[in-house]
Structure 1
């Protein structure tokens, strides 16, 4: 499995910090290939540019998971649909603070939010599967900058009707998802 990181509109060092936070946790599965969409060169919300970046840097035959943040969620969800239309396999789509972005697809979708209000209101536009929200809430950029120290609730969907909550960090939640979808 490969991983495409679609950052938002912010300094590139925040994405480096995000990846360092993920790498700090023990995991049995590591993506073979991590691609970072260069938002310093293209708009974070541009699905066409993300799709072109994938076409130039990734093989359709290798499954891919998306991790996107903020404005990057806008471009990434449409690029995921486009990649799938080209014949690519999407193993998972993970959106961090994709507030106001409808998330619909025939692949697993997960949301992480910096506070409960964003979690609740984003779910109105497609909640996806298991999700996470920070509690106590943190600043929007903090969720991306240091996922390893952002504590909150992992919301498990049980049989589609009931929910269970587990206390966890955002980085631990992401690691669980990456291990789940590693192929």
Structure 2
């Protein structure tokens, strides 16, 4: 079974609890197995600590889907490359406000941004597949605190043309989780 790995940023753990509540994952028929990297014990940006956490808490034979936020994006992208080098499978990687972090891998990558500028400028460093940005823009932490209240645009391609569909950050994330069947 695939697990959902949450790599928060540098903030109070209550914000991550609020983020997960906003996704309403426990209301689904098959709630995912969720592992939250303990940023209260280790630096959010530490790929070595994230990889060690994965090795200690998740079987290498079971795939992972990673949702990371802010400084957690820095550590998480390098950790998943390490996870793959060890033989692990990464189903997808979702970066929320990973501004300035180059993203690349042989797995689906999605960016979620708190405003258009972050969306546009981050895309220069690898945008992956379907993405989302808030419109109107919201504060950085608001994206993590209450994704269900953040309205914006789902950016996707159809017939080689960029399409924009209105949605919320939580709905976009739920769509991705359903796609990858966590």
Pairwise TM-score range, normalised by the shorter structure: over 0.9
Gaps of 5+ in 1: none
1:158, distance to aligned residue in structure 2 (A) = 2.2
Q: From the superposition, tell whether residues 29 and 175 of structure 1 become closer, same or farther in structure 2 (CA, over 3 Å).
A: farther
SS in 2 for 1:43: coil
Shift of 1:157: 1.8
Which residue is 1:69 aligned to?
69
Do structure 1's residue 6 and structure 2's residue 7 form an aligned pair?
yes
Are the equivalent residues in 2 in contact too, given 1:64–1:90 (CA < 8 A)? yes
Aligned CA RMSD, in angstroms, stands at 1.4
Q: Look up the SS of the partner of 2:147 in the other structure.
A: coil
Shift of 1:162: 1.2
**Counterpart position of 2:165:** 166
Mapped partners of 1:85, 1:97: distance in 2 = 26
SS at match of 1:41: coil
SS at match of 1:148: helix
> How many pairs align?
181
1:61-81 C-alpha deviation (Å, 9 max, x unpaired): 111000000000000000010
Q: Deviations over 1:126-175 (max 9, x none)?
A: 0100000000000000000000000000001224x311111000000000
Displacement of 1:23: 1.0
Runs of 4+ with >4 A deviation: 24-29
Distance in 2, Cα, partners of 1:44 & 1:157: 32
1:95-106 to structure 2, matched below 5 A, reads 95-106=95-106
5+ unaligned residues in a row in structure 2: which ranges?
A: none
What SS is found at the alignment partner of 2:149? coil
Q: Does 1:155 align with 2:155?
A: yes
Are the equivalent residues in 1 in contact too, given 2:111–2:132 (CA < 8 A)?
yes
Match of 1:15 in 2: 16
